[in-house]
Amino acid sequence: MSNSFKAVILAAGQGTRMKSKVPKVLHKVIDKPMVDYVIDESIKAGASDICVIIGHQSAMVKAMIGDRVKYGLQTEQLGTGHAVMQAGDFLKGDEDIAVLCGDTPLITAETLKKLADIHNAQNNSVTVVSMILDDPTGYGRIIRSGENFEKIVEQKDATDEEKACREVNTGVYIFKGADLTAAFEKLTNNNAQGEYYLTDTLEIIKNNGGKVGVMVADDPDEFLGVNSKLQLGEATTIMKKRINAFHMLNGVTLQDPDNTYIGKDVKIGEDTLILPGCYIEGDTEIGSDCIIGPNSRITSSKVNNCVTVQNSTMINAFVDNYTTVGPYAYLRPNSKIGEHVRIGDFVEIKNSTIDDGTKVSHLTYVGDSDVGKFVNFGCGTVTVNYDGKNKFRCKIGDNVFIGCNTNLVAPVEVADNAYTAAGSTITKDVPGDSLAIARARQENKEGWRVKTGK
């Protein structure tokens, strides 16, 4: 029997307890919005299609998630059952329907796979995930008759005896599609809040002769719902520990795991050392035998093997083997750094290619440039790439020596083996094997201060 399923993710709520202008599900855990984790894990678990139910600031949520899912719009907040109904035609068909919450970023694909397996193996009409809590306050209670499911009672509708139950509803379910749509035909809002509870569909399905199963969660942390900035911090701490443990078990050394933040999609090779204070995010890939940090931020970049990055920032950049970056360097988008390169302190590289063996040691800006092999940049060099309206490129050949405080006014080319004198402003191409000097001859006016009375 196939365990394929479709997923409906509830993401329409305002999240007033977040006290934020940003929709709740878009708040980030490390480097990704909460709802992205739920979508990604659903896909990993085998979801064939996903529908996200949006409502509050729906345009913002849709813009962040993009077109990889379908959408349903809940214009009025009339309960979880009403929210799932907004999936409309998405619910039709033979596949099972998993219902998930967009504010539970810690859920895993493994748990969703296990849920689908149990649901199919037991031939349930619906299977709900429960968890056992020491303090169940605020959660809907799973009420059983012996071992069998009887009903779910919301906290505000529960009796004192029912409130004493420690088995609670996580808000995660998987339904047979036909049984869910049939239950919706009988669903009412006859309760204290006047809302359409999705939980009521379980009792309807049971009364219709369907089988309701319960899967008790192995790890309640996976179902931590984030409703405030405090809970967002708690989820971030759990996610950070989970990700860091994965990398350490796979051969990465984290000198201070509590002070290291690594995104879920980051890949790091064996015997790489991550020093304290690092923030590594996006789809970054770091090779083996690297030293990263301390206090470096790397975003959606690729770093090959045996690279050292100290106290520096990289965004959408590439660094090849045996190169050193920093301290206090800034590699901006589309920077491509070759092997055995030295990018030193207070150096900024932007939209440029730096070939093998080149040294840009300190206090230099290289923007919109193509730099050859074994070039030496003197301190204070600037590629002047912007005239106030347009950007232009510089081209620097192999074995070029750029003197200190040189301005290369693009578009300009310095050919192989050429030199520029310190303090020059280069506005014309420099031929190979030449020395370019572009500065005014020094003139000393003796006694000038006395004569002018300065």
Instruction: Report whether 29 contacts 235 (CB < 8 A).
Output: yes
Phi, psi of 183 (to 5 degrees): -65, -35
CA dihedral sign of residues 16, 20, 26, 27: negative
Q: Is the link from the previous residue into 294 a cis peptide, with omega within 30 of 0? A: yes
The sheet carrying 267-268 orders its strands as 267-268, 285-286, 302-303, 318-319, 336-337, 353-354, 369-371, 394-396, 412-414
What b-and-e string marks burial along 198-226, b requiring 16 or more CB atoms within 10 Å of the CB? bbbbbbbbbeeebbbbbbebeebbbbbbb
Return the H-helix or E-strand segment holding 114. Answer: helix 109-121
Contacts of 382 (CB under 8 A, 6+ apart): 364, 365, 406, 407, 408
- Integer Cα distance of 106 and 129 in angstroms: 14
- Residues labelled catalytic: 362
Backbone angles phi, psi at 113, to 5 degrees: -65, -45
- The per-residue DSSP string of 282-321 comes to TT-EE-SS-EE-SS-EEES-EE-TT-EE-S-EEES-EE-T
Q: Residue 218's closest CA among 140, 129, 138, 151?
A: 129
* CA distance linking residue 92 with residue 90, whole number of Å: 6
* CB-neighbour burial class of residue 437 (10 A; exposed 0-12, middle 13-18, buried 19+): middle
CA distance 436 to 428: 9
d(CA 449, CA 76): 79
**Cβ distance 382 to 365 under 8 Å?**
yes
